[in-house]
Amino acid sequence: EGIPVINIDTQVKEGDLVKAYVGSDNRNAGFVCGEYLKKKCPKGGKLLILECPSMSSVNDRITGFEQAIADGGFEVLDRADVNGGMEKAAEVMEGFLEKYQEIDAVMCGNDRIALGALRAVEASEGSVKEHIRIYGVDGSPEIKSEIAKQDSPMTGTGAQSPIRIGKEAAEIGIAILNGENFEAATYEDTFLIDKGNVEMYGTDGWQ
């Protein structure tokens, strides 16, 4: 019908059907988690990956994470498709905790997955839960609240800013209506939120 569409957050495959895309730099969101893990575990370690191959954004995040840790001496013990959800992630993580006696870190494709992994770890018994580190991606209020707890296994999240994404999409919409130039694809910056800086971003909302 000739109605311009602005695609935000998760990029559609049929890019020629939309006027513009506005989202996060998902590869970097995973990369910053990997870089932080390398600092925390300079000798490497054993880790798990909870992902969702059907989601392009999660694929980019996991790819960025793997690129960051490529030369860090890490061993991927296992990985699983948890469909991007908390319940499935908790179920899978419970099985991994029973299967593996040593787990240093868990990389999760989004914060919902991370919450599921966290629930399983907190409900588990044994020494593995004492030093495990969990990483997510999104920067959601729920995850930031967990990161703020000094004794929580939730260590960091590759954060995005839905507020900036929304503002940029609105500005592009106005430019389209006014017949002005605009960027066909915009990737907003992503960054790490950890226990050292979470207070700066707050836990009662998105950044």
pTM beyond cutoff 0.85: yes
Query: pLDDT digits over 23-71, tens only?
Result: 999 999 999 999 999 999 999 999 999 999 998 899 999 999 999 999 9
Cα–Cα distance, 30 to 55 (Å, whole number): 14
Q: Tell me, what's the pLDDT at 104?
A: 96
Q: Tell me, what's the pLDDT at 94?
A: 96
Give 166-173 contacts, CB < 8 A, sequence gap 24+. 166/8, 168/22, 169/6, 169/8, 169/20, 169/22, 172/6, 172/19, 172/20, 172/22, 173/4, 173/6
Query: pLDDT digits over 128-138, tens only?
Result: 777 899 999 99
Q: Tell me, what's the pLDDT at 15?
A: 87
Q: What is the pLDDT along the chain (207 residues), one digit of tens a residue?
A: 999 999 999 888 888 999 999 999 999 999 999 999 999 999 999 999 999 999 889 999 999 999 999 999 999 999 999 999 999 999 999 999 999 999 999 999 999 999 999 999 999 987 777 789 999 999 999 999 999 999 999 999 999 999 999 999 999 999 999 999 999 999 999 999 999 999 999 999 999
Q: Tell me, what's the pLDDT at 160?
A: 96
